[in-house]
Amino acid sequence: MIRLFVNVDHVATVREARKTIEPSPLKAALLAERAGAQGITIHLREDRRHIQDEDVRVVQKGINTKLNLEMAPTQEMVDLALEIRPYQISLVPEKRQEITTEGGLDVCSQEKELSGLREKMHGKGILFSLFIDPDLAQIDACKRIQADSVEINTGKYTELESPQEIARELERIQKSAARAAEQGLKVFAGHGLNYENVEAIAAIPEIEELNIGHFIVGQAIYEGMENAVTAMIRSIARGRGQQS
C-alpha cells in the first residue's frame, strides 16, 4: 500500500484569515492519523502565509506518525529544520508572489549547494527529499547529490484537460518514477491530486508515498477530516489494484 502523508497547511490558512487560534493544524493532523494517514506534511513558507514557526514545533511534538517539512533551501529554513529535526525535509522552490508551488526545484543548477545541505541534514538524522518536475535530467541530478528520495510534481498532470495531453504527462511521470527507482531513489508524488486523478498515479508501481493536502482539507469542510482521509485512502487503493 502506498503511504499517504496529509498536508494540513490550509487548516492554518483558515486560521490565519482571522489571526486566531482555530482551527488547529495539530488537531487536523491527529484526525488524519486516526483515519489512517501514515504521516503529516506541512510547508513553512517564507512569508508565513499559513503555517507558522510554532506550528512546526507543535505538530512535530504532537503527532504520532512522522513529520515531512516542506521548505525552501534558505538559511532561515535550514536553521529551523536542524533545530526541530523532522523525520524528513522536502525542498521546494518558492516565489512569494505565487499562490501555490508552481513547479519543481531546479536541482541541476545547484548541485553543490544541495549536496552540502544534504550532508547537514543527514548529520542530524533527517531524511532529504527533493520536489522536482518529471524530468530525467533532474532525476539524475538528484542521484548525483545522493538525495534519499524525490517527490515528482503531479501539478501539470492534474491541470490538463485533453486526454492526449494527460496521457503524455502521465507517461513523463511514469518514466521519471522508473528512472528514479533504477537510480536507487525512493519515489514519492504529489500536487493537485483528488479522489479521481490520484488513481492513475497510485497505479505507478515505483511510487511509494503521496503527499496530498488542499483537496483533503477542502473535502473535510463537507465531510469531516477523517472521512476525507478514508475516502482518499480508498481511491489510492483502487489505483493500486488493492480494492474494487
CB 177 within 8 A of CB 206: yes
Q: Are 223 and 177 in contact (CB under 8 A)?
A: no
Are the C-beta atoms of residues 38 and 3 closer than 8 Å to each other?
Answer: yes
Are the CB atoms for 3 and 207 separated by under 8 Å?
no
Q: How far apart are CA 87 and CA 63, in angstroms?
A: 12
**What span, in angstroms and rounded, lies between the C-alpha atoms of 42 and 12?**
10
Alpha-carbon torsion 10, 11, 17, 19, what sign? negative
Distance from C-alpha of 122 to C-alpha of 167, rounded to nearest angstrom: 37
For residue 44, which amino acid is it? Answer: L
Give catalytic residue positions.
Answer: 43, 70, 191
